[in-house]
Amino acid sequence: MTAPDPIGEPRPTAASVFAGDRNGGIDALRGIAILLVILNHIGIRIPLAKTALADVLPARFLRDLNYNGYEAVFVFFVISGFLITCRAIERWGNLRAIPLRDFYVRRGARILPCLLALVVVLALLHAAGVANFVIDRPVQSLPGAVSAALGLYLNWYEGVTGYLPGNWDILWSLSIEEAFYLGFPLLCLLCAGTRWFVAILVALVLSMPFTHAAAAGNEIWQEKAYLPGMAAIAVGVLAALLARAHQPSQRAAFALRCVGWIGILAVLFAGRWIWQALLDGYLLVLTGAAACLVLGMHWNTSAARGLFPGSTWLRSCGRLSYEIYLTHMFCVFAVVGLARATATDAARGWIWYAPAIAACWLLGWIVARTFSIPVERSLRRLFGRTDPAPPAAAAVADV
């Protein structure tokens, strides 16, 4: 039994807080984040502010819808740090008990199949000379891009040589995230459970504005440098440790969700003013708000219902976020090409957004069901020890 909460919902127990079930609210937040990424990549090519929607909606609002993809990736970083830390504690009891082999097998089984398949497809498209997929900068090459993508330094490669074609470019965030998780279990084994562990994470988080500002001389590197992205993941790790240590009332969880939403919406739609006031501290506002929102959803006993009635599709996007992220540029290029081939005028460009978004979801679903989930299961059975593969309905809750 659980003690009733003052607002009428049962208070979660420690066991229920760290249960393995998917959290619908967090999945929906990931769905919103991947939607912002898609809107960004469509908007670069078909800006909403130049369509007829600008006659009925503020142009500033339309530009904000189109140009918050970078912020969405930092929200992904926070969610990733939170979920992987929660799952590690759930499986192995505490972070110092993480078995390196099992941790790396899980991450590899989740990440590598889609990554390797994508690199092979992109290499073939480059070799075939397909528009939008050819690496044509003099200082870049296919071997260089492949090496950077698989070596987890594509962000650095772009910082030195310039932007790669769109479907290569998205791998910058994967370089940061997976580089973090190569070192994360080692840090846990060395000092998790000690004051040094939290101190290191806090120091990394607080360094975010400074490491972001330090890269200001190179626009690409400033956007894609390792340390600011890793600091955002560390925010998620700290949030998971807090979730483990505390069981707040549902009223407090609701308040935290409100604070998180206010912060996220402020960054998305009033970010220019926050930037003017805080400069690179803007990223602390963004990641702090994301952490508040994730914690509030995690502590919400009705979170399985998602953010709001009708958010089922967003939750589906969240569950498929990795597959959608890696493949969405194929759909974006196809739909934009179709728009240009049919000579769609700029004012009617908005009509292509819904088909593009639907195509991105469908391709992600196909890849997940026919490739990434079956292959992940097989790899975990082949290389894992005792942990069973996740069921299809709740696959890859690890992110």
**What is the residue extent of each domain of the chain?**
16-394
* pLDDT over 90 at 179, yes or no: yes
Q: What is the pLDDT of residue 351?
A: 95
Q: What is the pLDDT of residue 305?
A: 55
* pLDDT over 60 at 366, yes or no: yes
* pLDDT over 80 at 331, yes or no: yes
* pLDDT over 50 at 112, yes or no: yes
Q: What is the pLDDT of residue 391?
A: 38
Q: What is the pLDDT of residue 303?
A: 54
Whole-number Å distance between alpha carbons of 78 and 288: 9
Q: What is the pLDDT of residue 310?
A: 64
For the chain, percent of residues with pLDDT exceeding 90: 80
Q: What is the pLDDT of residue 390?
A: 41
Q: What is the pLDDT of residue 125?
A: 97
21 near 15, Cβ under 8 Å? Answer: no
Tokens representing residue 232 in the block: 């955002």
Q: What is the pTM of this model?
A: 0.90
Q: What is the pLDDT of residue 308?
A: 61
Could you report the per-residue pLDDT of 283-295, keeping only the tens digit for each?
999 999 999 999 9
Split at pLDDT 50, 70, 90, the class of 399 is low
Could you report the per-residue pLDDT of 186-213, keeping only the tens digit for each?
999 999 888 899 999 999 999 999 999 9
Alpha carbon 240 to chain centroid distance? 16
Q: Taking residues 362-385, what's their average pLDDT?
A: 93
Place of tokens 């483990």: 244
* pLDDT over 90 at 306, yes or no: no
Could you report the per-residue pLDDT of 17-76, keeping only the tens digit for each?
334 468 889 999 999 999 999 999 999 999 999 999 999 999 999 999 999 999 999 999
Tokens representing residue 241 in the block: 């440790």
Tokens representing residue 315 in the block: 């939750």
Q: What is the pLDDT of residue 302?
A: 62
Phi, psi of 162 (to 5 degrees): 105, 175
61 near 47, Cβ under 8 Å? Answer: no
Could you report the per-residue pLDDT of 242-276, keeping only the tens digit for each?
999 888 888 899 999 999 999 999 999 999 999 99
Whole-number Å distance between alpha carbons of 35 and 135: 27
Q: What is the DSSP letter of 12?
A: P
Q: What is the pLDDT of residue 368?
A: 97
Q: Which residues pair with 10 in a beta bridge?
A: 4
Phi, psi of 10 (to 5 degrees): -65, 140
Residue type, 393: A
Q: What is the pLDDT of residue 317?
A: 95
Side-chain half-sphere CA neighbours of 335 within 13 A: 24
**Closest listed residue to residue 29, CA positions, set 83, 66, 67:** 83
* pLDDT over 50 at 281, yes or no: yes
Q: What is the pLDDT of residue 136?
A: 93
Could you report the per-residue pLDDT of 148-176, keeping only the tens digit for each?
999 999 999 999 999 999 999 999 999 99
Q: Taking residues 99-112, what's their average pLDDT?
A: 95
Split at pLDDT 50, 70, 90, the class of 307 is low
Q: What is the pLDDT of residue 289?
A: 97
Q: Taking residues 111-134, what's their average pLDDT?
A: 97
Q: What is the mean pLDDT of the chain?
A: 89
Q: What is the pLDDT of residue 388?
A: 43
